[in-house]
Structure 1
Amino acid sequence: MIHLSSTPARSVLQHSLPLFMALLSATGCSLAPHYERPAVATPPAFKELPADPQWKTAAPTESQARGEWWTVFGDAQLNQLEAEAAAANQDLQAGMARLLQARAQVQNARAEYFPQLGVGTGVTRQRPSPASLGLAPDAHTEVSTLWRAQGTVAYEPDLFGRISSNVDAATATREQSEALFLSLKLTIQADVAQNYFSLRELDAMSSVYADTLRLREETTRLIQHRFNEGDISELELTQAQTELAQARNESLGVARQRAVAEHSLAILLGKTPAEFNLPPSPLQPINLQIPVGLPSTLLERRPDIAAAERSMAAANARIGAARAAYFPRLNLTGGFGFESADLSDLFKWSSRTFVAGPLGSTALSLPLFDGGARRAGVDLAKGAYAEQVSNYRQTALQAFREVEDDLAQLRLLHSQIQTQSDALASAQRSAALSKQQYREGSVGYLNVMDADRSVLLQQRSNIQLEAERARTTVDLIRALGGSWKTE
């Protein structure tokens, strides 16, 4: 305890105490505007939602854990690939590192709530000037050595909520990073699934071309035999050989595309292309009914929307920190320890010393003129908040559009696939009739080639539409925010 032995000192304290008490009463008072999530124009229902009783209403929330949504496809290979991507994808690892940085920033901001303690030691050697001691100009002064070992303490009360506003901003930024990590995770999961179905599409193409090559090789051998017997002209033989070579060329093109797609999938799994090999397996038709829910639930379950909302909250808190610059800052500092002219006496009880009060500066500071810097800081914070509000609303609009796009595509793809199946059946029937008529000699080989080309074209279109439906189903799940729960 410090005992005041003089009346002036006691008077100073008595006059200063009310001021300090008034300042301390402002501790924790936030100057940030009251935060409310801005309204977003939300339709009552999705425009493209099919009027189908199989489509169920979902009631998800952002706080619910995202499940392994890809298991709805019932594909064990896809399940394994998703697990490998979750464990080794490098973009996901980088996202986790960013999240850890955001969490550390919160702790760094919270550290300002507490006193800062330190210790230090040092030695000074000095000779005071005669004038500083009140001596004659030519007086002799002695050189002295002073050893010090002391602890320091510094503390800034949270006047006008500057520190708490910074903590609120860091906390909201951390929550934004958590939502962005979930969004990144969902994107990678969807990319793995879509790349997987693209590979299976190419496997189905390869299977079709394998059958086509086998049939054309048999046809070419038959025509070669008939040519050798003199039954047909060389023209029909060269036409058959051309069709066979073209089919081989297209088959090699599919193989080339598959190799590139397999390499892309390997990178998503955190592997080099040389480490990854996926055995061929043709795509199987996928026709899932995904519970979409209401547009209003999209604002709660999409992690990118949650990230945009948290970014607004952080920007709002920074307005409070910028406003706090208009008000005084109080820095309480002090030092305690030992000092001695002789090192051997440094830690003796008689060498103890302390100082309470500002060290090298004022305790209470308030800028009076800064050329408009504080005003600019508040305007900057308000502008950043307005920008984040627009970004949030745009993110929500984009989410609504993505869901509507995928719903429309799935609805129309369903009709396309049905029509395409009819076209494939007709082409196969036409090919069978043309081959029969060719054997009977009523049509030339050119008719057979045209019919075979049509069958191959329809088969390719059928596979492409099935693959597009699988990829669009994945994209709809991603657009809905991942997993869901049915009522």
Structure 2
Amino acid sequence: MTHALNHCAMRFGLTLLTLTLAGCSLRPALAPDTGPIPPAYKQAQAEPTGAWTSARPADDALRAAWWTMFQDPALNALQAAAQDANPTLQAAYARLQLSRAQHQQARSALFPRLDAGFGPTRQRESPASYSGRDNGPASTTTLWRTDAAVAYEADLFGRVSSTLSAASAEQARGGALYRLTLLALQADVADTYFLIRELDTQHRIYRQTLALRERGFALNQMRFEAGDGGELEVERARSELEVARADALGAQRLRASAEHALAILLGKAPADFSLPYEPLRRIELTVPPGLPSELLERRPDIAAAEHAMAAANARIGAARAAFFPKLELTGAAGFESSSLSQLFQWSSRSFLLGPFLGTALSLPILDGGARQAGLDTARAAYEEDVARYRETLLNAFREVEDNLMHLRIMAAQQTAQDRARLAAQRAAELSRLQYETGTHTQLDVIDADRSLLQQQLASARLDGDQARTTVRLIRALGGGWDTPLPGTPLSVPQASAAPAPSLPLPPSPSR
């Protein structure tokens, strides 16, 4: 009786110890420490007084199809086509599916493993196995067996939970990387589209210049044939005509190259895609940058770096747990019989438990430093991810500041450039009128026309730069940062798949 009580007490104590240790975790704390974050962007201070303007209504539009703010139906259609067929985005989606499958695989360790088997075995034992003569008779037996085996690892010291946390962080990182690829694709499509429209504007300017040069050449040719002009004026006009033609062909070449690049972004062969010519309209759009602290939630690359850091932190906990005992609960039950007809008889039942009450407690002692090397590897990976997170954060602030600076200065530059273009246009008109009345030479007309062409091209390039810089600012701000991931029900919050730790920087774990 006393032996039975001791046996029950031992079983109860072991069960209580197992449940207690299952709640332990050796993961280092992920303490927030972002360092100083500026209250506002320096380059967002557009007014001379330094006043900073916060969110505007366009801020909401950035959260979804941000390119619709440009109000360009052709761009909208290109974005839809790119998201349907771009191979890079399809590869990113496959990687997202891979991270989801790996998370599910890691989650399976929380549940018992159950296997079932059925089949016969046939065995012949040698006479020597039962102390007989080597050339003596031997028996052959057939054994039918069916059984079910169960195994479960108790989560001592949080090894399983740490592994699952790492997989959850990797799944969240996979979602952030997908959004990063999607944002890069959207920005590249818009950037290339506006480059093509800028080249279309240049092409229109070159055509107008070419028509003007052709009329000038024809006029000088007529004067030369009538004896009112010299051959020098004819050759000068011919030279300017051919230069204009060469420049127009150069713009066509650049435009064709940009169109091929856009076709690849759409997942099409260049031969299967063409974009009609349409000059660029000046973009009258102001993008609110928001607060610098909001960038940590908007930028998918920052989110990816943060989740990588969280995964590395969880792997430290799993590496630490390798220094402590591992508890495996195992058991098997079934039937064994020498005859198939007697297999499922109650007398044929069999079972097998582990070495002690269905448990197997293993404690590593010597491994040649393998566990310490694993822990050092996990710590080094964590420290690398922390440094990469800081680098990503600083680069994000720099990109936003750069694009804000470009747009702020570009606005004043466009105003000055418009005045220069209008002045050059008026000077060309006056020079042409005075040449026709004989008060100016042909060189004056050529010089005025060349200056007008340069100012028109400068205006076109500036408008194109302004459109592409607006796109790059939206990209630097994170674009549509709350776009739902594919394959995720809209009713399920994105954070439910893998709870994200706080975005700030954690300190390095203590050794």
Work out whether the TM-score is over 0.5: yes
Q: Tell me how far 1:23 sits from its aligned partner.
A: 2.9
Q: Which residue does 1:48 correspond to in 2?
A: 43
2:351 is paired with a residue of what secondary structure? strand
Q: Distance in 2 between matches of 1:102 and 1:295?
A: 30
- C-alpha distance after superposition, 1:98-137 (max 9, x if no partner): 111111111111101111111223333334567865x577
Unaligned runs of 5+ in 1: 1-5
Contact 1:56 1:292 in 2 (8 A): no
Residue 34 of structure 1 is aligned with which of 10, 19, 29? 29
1:363 is paired with a residue of what secondary structure? strand
Q: Distance in 2 between matches of 1:69 and 1:105?
A: 32
Q: Which residue does 2:286 correspond to in 1?
A: 289
- C-alpha distance after superposition, 1:309-328 (max 9, x if no partner): 11111111111111110111
Of 405-414 and 115-124, more deviation after overlay is shown by 115-124
Q: Tell me how far 1:64 sits from its aligned partner.
A: 11
Percentage identity across paired residues of the two chains? 53
Unaligned runs of 5+ in 2: 483-511
**What is the one-letter code of the residue matched to 1:349?**
W
Contact 1:328 1:364 in 2 (8 A): yes
Map 1:379-390 onto structure 2 (within 5 A): 379-390=376-387
- C-alpha distance after superposition, 1:263-284 (max 9, x if no partner): 1112212222222221111001
Q: Tell me how far 1:222 sits from its aligned partner.
A: 1.1
Shift of the 88–474 alpha-carbon distance from structure 1 to 2, 3 Å rule, reads same
Q: Which residue does 2:492 correspond to in 1?
A: none
Q: Tell me how far 1:173 sits from its aligned partner.
A: 0.9
Q: Tell me how far 1:67 sits from its aligned partner.
A: 1.3
**Pair 1:321 & 2:318 matched:** yes
Q: Distance in 2 between matches of 1:353 and 1:480?
A: 66
**Pair 1:164 & 2:161 matched:** yes
**What is the one-letter code of the residue matched to 1:341?**
S
1:156 is paired with a residue of what secondary structure? strand
- C-alpha distance after superposition, 1:195-233 (max 9, x if no partner): 111011011011111111111111111111111101111
- C-alpha distance after superposition, 1:7-29 (max 9, x if no partner): 98986675465345313321132
**What is the one-letter code of the residue matched to 2:81?**
E
Q: Tell me how far 1:290 sits from its aligned partner.
A: 1.4
Of 361-370 and 137-146, more deviation after overlay is shown by 137-146
Contact 1:58 1:484 in 2 (8 A): no
Contact 1:37 1:309 in 2 (8 A): no
RMSD, matched Cα: 2.8
**What is the one-letter code of the residue matched to 2:38?**
P
Contact 1:226 1:232 in 2 (8 A): yes
- C-alpha distance after superposition, 1:133-175 (max 9, x if no partner): 5x57778663323222222211111111111111111111111
Q: Distance in 2 between matches of 1:418 and 1:432?
A: 22
Q: Which residue does 1:143 correspond to in 2?
A: 140
Q: Which residue does 1:3 correspond to in 2?
A: none
- C-alpha distance after superposition, 1:64-90 (max 9, x if no partner): 993111122121211221222222222
1:160 is paired with a residue of what secondary structure? helix
Q: Which residue does 2:196 correspond to in 1?
A: 199
Q: Distance in 2 between matches of 1:373 and 1:445?
A: 86
Q: Distance in 2 between matches of 1:64 and 1:378?
A: 46
Shift of the 217–445 alpha-carbon distance from structure 1 to 2, 3 Å rule, reads same
Normalising by structure 2, what TM-score? 0.86
Q: Distance in 1 between matches of 2:116 and 2:444?
A: 96
Q: Tell me how far 1:442 sits from its aligned partner.
A: 3.3
Contact 2:56 2:288 in 1 (8 A): no
Q: Distance in 1 between matches of 2:268 and 2:51?
A: 40
Aligned residue pairs total 477
Q: Distance in 2 between matches of 1:86 and 1:46?
A: 32
Q: Which residue does 1:208 correspond to in 2?
A: 205
Q: Distance in 2 between matches of 1:372 and 1:463?
A: 66
Normalising by structure 1, what TM-score? 0.91
**Pair 1:480 & 2:477 matched:** yes
